[in-house]
Structure 1
Amino acid sequence: MTIWEMLAVFAAGIGAGTINTIVGSGTLITFPVLLATGLPPVTATVSNALGLIPGSVSGAIGYRAELAGQRPRVLRLAVAAAIGGLCGAVLLTVLPPTAFETIVPVLVALALVLVVLQPRITRAVQRRRDRDGRTATPGDRGGPLLFAGLLLASVYGGYFTAAQGIVYLSLMGILLDDTLQRLNAAKNVLAAVVNSVAALFFVFAAHFDWTAVALIAVGSTIGGQLGARIGRRLPPQVLRVLIVVIGSAAILQLLTR
């Protein structure tokens, strides 16, 4: 890499770490930049996954206040994230690079619809709970449906990672009775689990570029802290609009690249 390419990758890492912590889809910044430096698609994907681990951890730390009381929920869902992330990483090494990309725009679009409809669906679920005499608490775990949904989303996350945070937020927003900020905090931990498990597999089974990994790692760590400071101040309505805007941009980029 030239010095200018290295600076571009570093800047992309900061941007990706920031956006991943707030919403997700940071890979849509780093991946094109890595391709522009001449890295093959699979090598770029693997290098990106390795480099984003510190950013995911940094973002999770930045949201530690919102993680209070979520340990049982997060530990349970982390099992799904770990299994799915490993499966996705394995698929990346054995399937053609375009295998999943054909369904990614549809998946992201569905997630965005769920994010938009989440307040209405949540109210409908709450009315049903009231009629049935049941109550929900912020510690609710979401049941088998959420576990299965996050498992599948994590398979995709281990394969490509773009917009997986949006899918996580849409699933948890529908199936859990909690604030969007607390769900975002849980999302950051789950993303860190997926990236870490996938990266551990890649270290032994795939080729990657150490320079790209190091630059994205440092940049995403900085971005993770920036994202936590910005994201934690956003009202739920603003955060939801931001999710839709970034997700729509993700769909457009995936369809046109």
Structure 2
Amino acid sequence: MTWWEALAILVAGMGAGGINAVVGSGTLFTFPVLLALGYPPVTATISNSIGLAPGSLTGAIGYRRELKGQRTRLLRFGGMSLLGAVTGGTLLLNLPEDVFETVVPVLIALACVLIVAQPKINAWMRRRRPARPNGGPLLPFGVYGAGVYGGYFAAAQGIVLISLMGASLDEELQRINALKNVLAFIVNATAAAFYIVFADPAWPVVGLIAGGSVIGGYIGARFGRRLKPLALRILIVVVGLTAAAQLVADAVT
């Protein structure tokens, strides 16, 4: 690894940590860089997942004020995220590389639609039934599915989580974003532990991404907490659609 390659990975890690704290889809900063530098897709995915875990923790800590009063949700959804991450990691090590990548852009696009429609969906749900503080019986299964997706590929799992919880919880977007950061950390940390035991990561890459993501996660959390709900929603949709377009372009080429 040359010095400029190391610098490129470090900077990509910083960008990924920052965008993960605010929105999600930071993998789309680091994954293309690793592929461009010649790392195989599975090695890039594994190394990236391990490296981004510390940055996810930094982002979650940065949103600790918005986590107050959400202990029940953390316990309820955290276990499902963990199980989903283990399932996703197992799939990554056993399925062909392009199985999930064909549906990832569709999932991201649907997530963006849900985020745009979240206020109207919440108002409609309140008219039909009393608000459920924990989202009802189906939301944990959606969180599990997001954990499977995050453990397998990770790109834009934050956007998927925000869309699911935003459409199900009668809650402020910033508090949902704080919850998303913790669940994303659980998925990334679980997948990281899984890959350390059962896979063969590129450790220099892991170290560079980890260092960059910690810095980026801290900065991103400080910035993201100041955004108004509308601005945050617009940013999420823009990043999500950009991620979907990039994945489609990569698949075509």
TM-score of the two chains, using structure 2 as the length reference: 0.97
Question: Which sections of structure 2, spanning at least 5 residues, go unmatched?
Answer: none
Q: Distance in 2 between matches of 1:246 and 1:87?
A: 26
1:200 maps to 2:193:
yes
**Equivalenced residues, count:** 250
Offset of residue 9 of structure 1: 0.3
1:94-243 correspondence runs (5 A):
94-129=94-129, 134-136=130-132, 140-243=133-236
Partner of 1:67: 67
Q: CA deviation at 1:123?
A: 1.1
Q: Deviations over 1:124-165 (max 9, x none)?
A: 112223xxxx355xxx11122110111111101000000110
TM-score, normalising length from structure 1?
0.96
- Shift >3 Å, 4+ stretches: none
User: 1:27 corresponds to which residue?
Assistant: 27
The corresponding residue for 1:249 is 242
How far off its partner does 1:36 sit?
Answer: 1.5
The two structures, once aligned, show a CA RMSD in angstroms of 0.8
1:3 aligns with 2:3: yes
Change (3 A) 1:135 1:149: closer
* 1:8-40 residue CA offsets vs partner (Å, 9 max, x unmatched): 000000000000000000000000111112111
In structure 1, give the amino acid aligned to 2:127: R
Contact 2:125–2:131 (Cα < 8 Å) also in 1: no
Looking at structure 2, the residues matched to 37 and 204 of structure 1 have their Cα atoms a distance apart, in angstroms, of 25
Q: In structure 1, give the amino acid aligned to 2:169.
A: L
Residue 51 of structure 1 corresponds to which residue in structure 2?
51
Query: In 2, Cα distance between the equivalents of 1:143 and 1:219?
Result: 37
Query: What is the CA–CA distance in structure 2 between the aligned matches of 1:40 and 1:167, rounded to whole Å?
Result: 26
Distance 1:241 1:211, change over 3 A: same
**How far apart, in 2, do the equivalents of 1:36 and 1:207 lie?**
19
Structure 1 counterpart SS, 2:138: helix
What CA distance in whole angstroms lies between the structure 2 residues aligned with 1:19 and 1:29?
9
Segments of structure 1 that go 5 or more residues without pairing to the other structure are none
Contact preservation (8 Å) 2:131, 2:170:
no
2:33 and 2:60 map into 1 onto residues whose CA distance is 25
**In 2, distance between residues paired with 1:69 and 1:117?**
26
Q: Alignment identity in percent? A: 59
Structure 1 counterpart of 2:236, which letter?
A: I
Q: Is the 8 A contact 2:59 2:217 kept in 1?
A: yes
Question: Could you tell me how far apart the structure 1 residues matched to 2:206 and 2:233 are?
Answer: 31
